[in-house]
Structures are given as C-alpha cells and as structure tokens.
Amino acid sequence: MISKSGSPSSDLLKNVLVQSWKGYAKEIIAPLEKEQTMMTVLFALVGLITIFIIFVIFNMLVGSKTKDIGILKSFGADDTAIAQLFFIIAGCIGLFGSAVGSTLGLIFLKNINRIENYCINHFGLALWDRTMYAIDAIPSRLNPYLLAGIIVSAVAACLLGAILPALSASRKKPVDILYQRL
C-alpha cells in the first residue's frame, strides 16, 4: 500500500508519537524540579540569615572592643588598619568555619547510607523514599566544584557580614572612645 506522498513508510509512521524523555516522565520530573526550586530558595534564605547573624556578632564585637580600638587609634593605627583587622578576623572565622563544616559534611556524606539504615532499624524512620526515586541508596557522590563554591560563599558571607561593623569601628574617634570609658 502506497500513500499519496508516494512513500510506503509514511503510513507506518502515521500513528507514531515521538516524545522526549522529559515529556514522557513529566509526572516524576515535575515534583523533583519543584523540590529543587524550594531547596534553592531555602538555602538563599539561610545564607541571608547567616550574613545577618555575622553582622550582629561583629556589631557586638565592635561594641565590646571600643576601648581597645581607642587605644590602638591613640597609638597611631589609622582607619584602614582598624577595618583590615576586623576583615582579617572575619576571614579567619570564615575559613575556620568552612574547614570544620566541610570536614563534618564529608564525614556525613561518606556515612549517609549507614546513618539512614540506623534510623530505619532503630526508629523506623526512612529518610529516603525508595519508591519515589527508584534507587536503593542515597546518592553520595561529591561534586568538588559545589564544595568549593560553598566554601567561597561561607567566607564571602563572613566578609559581607563584617563590612558595616568594620567601617563603624574604623570611624570611631579615639578621644571620644576613651572619654566615654572614663
């Protein structure tokens, strides 16, 4: 049987539906994409809260160290040196926190399936829905670029949170600081 176009294969392909794998599995992919979007929003909020907490801590640090700032300025430290001091402290805190957090995160990542098995056996709590993801273990592959991005972001958050307190500390006048403390 030959069709009007003259090709015998055109009749064979008339009822064939071509679909991408995303279109075929959209019931599975759509919830995962929503979950990924929500996780991104939540991590952004956690990042903003982290910057605010660092800001508050450094503001308290500047408040408690005003006498020391006044003494340093009376000995000749300029505004830039005082601001740099607070930025160095913020960078060290960021690096230390990143090192500790990365180490604990890597330990957790290495043992995540053992931790889940412990939770299932002792508490009946399944952290990973095997029916939804169709794999029997939690994926625990490390993305080194993501880890590096997280470390850089943590240090940047510390530095961002310290900007205003460092500028505030550097603008204090030594005479006013020491006069307030007497």
Looking at residue 1, its pLDDT comes to 47
Examine residue 34 and state whether it is found in any structural domain, yes or no: yes
Does the reported pTM lie above 0.75? no
Examine residue 52 and state whether it is found in any structural domain, yes or no: yes
Looking at residue 25, its pLDDT comes to 75
Give the chain's residues under pLDDT 70: 1-11, 132-133, 178, 181-182
Examine residue 6 and state whether it is found in any structural domain, yes or no: no
Identify the residue whose tokens are 């929500």: 38
Examine residue 154 and state whether it is found in any structural domain, yes or no: yes
Give the chain's domain count.
1
Looking at residue 20, its pLDDT comes to 79
Examine residue 16 and state whether it is found in any structural domain, yes or no: no
Examine residue 50 and state whether it is found in any structural domain, yes or no: yes
- Tell me the residue range of the domain where 52 lies: 23-181
Looking at residue 26, its pLDDT comes to 78
Angle separating helix axes 79-110 and 66-74, nearest 10 degrees: 130
Kind and range of the H or E run holding 58: helix 26-64
Residue 119 contacts residue 126 (beta carbons within 8 Å): yes
Whole-angstrom distance, CA of residue 44 vs CA of residue 149: 14
Examine residue 13 and state whether it is found in any structural domain, yes or no: no
Examine residue 138 and state whether it is found in any structural domain, yes or no: yes
